[in-house]
């Protein structure tokens, strides 16, 4: 059997790594080894931060809800949510926060029903 060398595939792999690292600072966009290390690290951060984003948005919704809840006569966010769930409402925090910021009159109606 004839020997097959891997030059074409190796070059393709190197080119792909350097293309993906385009725009990185310094040697990280020029040298394959450092570009690959930077890409691996970037991938780990991207993976972790996709999960962090969910936490960040949930915190934002809670802050918005707390402000709207206090404007509508409730003591705090936690007591509002407890009564909200006890009354059998099925809306999540994302939708409630959207109502609170975009449609305050709808949220005020919901808040009155919870009392």
DSSP state string for 34-60: HHHHHHHHHHHHHHHHHHHHHHHHHHH
pLDDT per residue as tens digits for the range 93-108: 999 999 999 999 999 9
pLDDT tens digits along 11-70: 999 999 999 999 999 999 999 999 999 999 999 999 999 999 999 999 999 999 999 999
Q: Which residues fall within 8 angstroms of residue 72, CB to CB, at 6 or more apart?
A: 107, 108, 111, 112
SS3 content of the chain, % helix, strand, coil (to 5): 75, 0, 25
Class level of CATH domain 7-114:
mainly alpha
Sequence spans of domains, the chain:
7-114
Average pLDDT over residues 80-105: 93
Residue 95: both structure tokens together: 């939708």
Q: What pLDDT score was predicted for residue 24?
A: 97
Check whether 2 has a pLDDT greater than 90.
Answer: no
pLDDT in the model for residue 1:
80
- Pairwise pLDDT comparison (39 vs 72), residue with the higher score: 39
70 touches 62 (CB < 8 A): no
pLDDT at 21: 97
């Amino acid at each position: 059997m004839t020997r097959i060398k891997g030059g074409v595939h190796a070059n393709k792999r190197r080119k792909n790594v350097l293309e993906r690292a385009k725009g990185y600072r310094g040697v990280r966009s020029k040298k394959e080894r450092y570009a690959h290390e930077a890409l691996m690290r970037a991938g780990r951060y991207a993976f972790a931060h996709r999960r962090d984003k969910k936490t960040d948005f949930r915190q934002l919704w809670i802050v918005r809800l707390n402000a709207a809840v206090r404007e509508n006569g409730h003591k705090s966010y936690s007591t509002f949510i407890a009564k909200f769930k006890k009354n059998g409402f099925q809306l999540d925090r994302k939708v409630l926060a959207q109502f609170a910021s975009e449609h305050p009159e709808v949220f005020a109606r919901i808040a009155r029903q919870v009392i």
